[in-house]
Chain A
Amino acid sequence: MLATYRYPEFPYVPSPEQRDGVVLRHPVVVIGAGPIGLTAALDCAARGIPVVVLDDNNTVSIGSRAVCHAKRPLEIWDRLGVGEAFVEQGVNWQVGRVFFKDHRVYTFDLLPEAGHKMPAMINLQQYHLEERLVAACDASPKVDLRWKHRLLSLQQADDHALLTVETPDGVFRMEAQWVIACDGANSETRRMVGAEFTGRFFQDRFLIADVVMAAGFPSERWFWFDPPFHRGQSVLLHKQCDNVWRIDFQLGWDADPDEEKKPEKVVPRIQAMLGKDVKFELEWVSVYQFACRRIDRFRHGRVLFAGDAAHQVSPFGARGANTGVQDIDNLAWKLQMVLLGEAPVSLLDSYDEERAFAADDNLAHSTRSTDFITPKSRTSRMLRDAVLELAETEAFARRLVNSGRLSTPTPYVHSSLNTPDVEAFDSPMKPGTPCADARVRIDTGSSWWLNQLDGFVLLAFGPTPQRSVRVGGVTAHVLSVGRDLVDETGDLTQRYDGRPGTVYLIRPDQHVAARWRQFDAHAIEAALMRCLGKNGSL
């Protein structure tokens, strides 16, 4: 029981299909109503796909798990209509301080560039986030969220998967054209399809304590290497909303998890850190160890894996939920195109191609952070300490300090869906890159660039000979700067190097697919075909 939060209990509702004993075939079934599964449901719904979500429980995530939510996932949630509420409720922060022993080594500022709707980072407990996602799913006529539905087994057929599901009313069967497995690091679905999940385990343990305290620290990320109050280990402090603070103590491999969870062990640790006079209340305590692993393939026949079910990272850098949300961003529009018959099934292999690439990038970052925080040998520790001591005065050494590289999106630079540049651009918005936001003016007033995007879009700087380009039933509509929107600040033009005539083809997940210096309908059609996986590029 938490002092600041009461877990909602969602009702089990018997489904007509179970009651009537009719086997229905659904376009998409999502397994797991965590942050990724719920986001998957909202994104499918946003793309017009009716979606069923099965969850074996009937509440939100217990304890506090994901905390930091980065800009790109916030932009995705904003596309789905929940981002603004998260930002309003969450703690906005941008300053991080790093300490070594008893002194401050350096301070970093995420220094978010002005002219973006979403902040660099917010902290919000996972249960708050999930509760809002559930409310959004409940409000959507396309989402059928079913609590107390446990997947017992899954059999693959050519054009669907057969799911055996258990509820309080017994066992029934349902079919899904596509399954999105978002059932976490211990995914049962992954086991059912026989997928490999391999990587590195780290021989270390961490104590998570969420404490409630009114006073104290600013809204900053504080990280200690080898502090006087916790010798030889690291400590992390983060503010969450409702005056809840996350404290993360590295314990080492020899620590006894059951012993360390006891309040008589935890309270003195926190007192040593905060000072004897600081009043606090323990909200949640757990001990964890972690691994950096990923699934062999993100697609197994009719089952697509996302979030922790597909990749597990260390918590340093907040790369878990943040990457999972981006998996969904990548997947939902592809499923839509395949379900509409506008793209071949092989388009879904580009989900594996692009998100496995991102997962590997995340795993590398996460592993490097872990190796810095937990040196594996005496010499590694000596080098680490040398970096930290140098960092006090030397700017070059600060770049080497790694207390977790905070999650940023991985551009799909090598994706087979990209049409490579043939002309020169002075802008990092290369094919495969998520679009940068900018303030723009539209008919109804001031707005944001990313909020204008819907489906495939052609961003054109200046007039265009036609208003759209079509491939089959897929239309990319032109948004022309100067006609459909005004770039008052100049940010959009600067960020996209928008010299007159420049055209960008933007995917439904707000990633650049191609760009040119002039509007050429044939080139655009070819790029759109390629982006739909239609010209043998996959």
Chain B
Amino acid sequence: MKLIRTPNIADPDAFYDSLLAAQRDLPDDQAERVLAKLVLILANHVGDRAVLAEALELARSNTVRRQPPAPA
């Protein structure tokens, strides 16, 4: 199986709203922990290590390439 990178969520606006709602009222440390748990729960649901590796790589490269170059 490959990581699905095409739109796959029905009613994406409603999903995004529920993602915000899950941690909106919480202090930052708890909100972050909610996200960490979400990652773990979904990772277990996926299970497939190749898909997880692809997702990890995507998340990382999408973050790291946005970093401005370090000052010389």
Contacts and interface: CB of A to CB of B under 8 A. Distances in A.
Interface stretch (B8-16, B17-25, B29-37): B29-37
B21 to A, nearest CB: 19
Interface in B23-47: 29, 32-33, 36-37, 39-41, 44
B36 A382 contact: yes
Contact of A390 (B29, B32, B41): B41
Nearest to B47: A396
A389 interface: yes
A100 B40 CA distance: 18
A386 B32 CA distance: 9
A386 B37 contact: yes
A387 interface: yes
A397 interface: yes
A382 B39 CA distance: 12
B39 to A, nearest CB: 8
Interface in A386-407: 386-387, 389-390, 394, 396-397, 400
Nearest to A387: B40
A371 interface: no
Interface of B: 29, 32-33, 36-37, 39-41, 44
Contact of B33 (A386, A396, A397): A386
A385 B33 contact: yes
Nearest to B29: A382
A391 to B, nearest CB: 10
A536 to B, nearest CB: 37
A14 B52 CA distance: 65
A387 B40 CA distance: 8
A197 B38 CA distance: 41
B36 A396 contact: no
Contacts of B36: 382-383, 385-386
Q: Which of B29, B32, B36, B39 has the most CB of A within 10 A?
A: B36
A430 to B, nearest CB: 22
A386 B44 CA distance: 14
A101 to B, nearest CB: 13
Given A383-B36, A396-B40, 9 more contacts: A382-B32, A382-B36, A385-B36, A386-B33, A386-B36, A386-B37, A386-B40, A387-B40, A397-B44
A382 B33 CA distance: 6
Contacts of A396: 40, 44
Contact of A397 (B29, B32, B40): B40
A386 B29 CA distance: 11
A277 to B, nearest CB: 36
Interface string A363-390: 0000000000000000000110111011
A394 B45 CA distance: 12
Contacts of A397: 40, 44
**Taking each of A382, A383, A386, which has the highest tally of chain B beta carbons within 10 Å of its own beta carbon?**
A386
Contacts of B44: 396-397
Contacts of A385: 33, 36
B28 to A, nearest CB: 11
Interface in A462-505: none
Interface string A113-156: 00000000000000000000000000000000000000000000
Nearest to A397: B40
A-B pairs, top 3 by smallest CB distance, nearest first, are A386-B36, A396-B44, A386-B37
A403 B53 CA distance: 24
A389 B40 CA distance: 11
A386 B30 CA distance: 10
Nearest to A400: B40
15 contacts: A382-B32, A383-B39, A383-B40, A385-B33, A385-B36, A386-B36, A386-B39, A386-B40, A389-B37, A390-B37, A390-B40, A390-B41, A394-B41, A396-B40, A400-B40
Contacts of B32: 382
Contacts of B29: 382
Nearest to A399: B44
B49 to A, nearest CB: 14
A390 B44 CA distance: 12
Contacts of A382: 29, 32-33, 36
Contacts of B37: 386, 389-390
Contacts of B40: 383, 386-387, 390, 396-397, 400
A343 B33 CA distance: 59
A387 B44 CA distance: 12
A394 B40 CA distance: 11
Interface in A212-254: none
Nearest to A391: B40
A383 B32 CA distance: 9
Contacts of A387: 40
B29 to A, nearest CB: 8
A387 B37 CA distance: 7
Interface string A64-100: 0000000000000000000000000000000000000
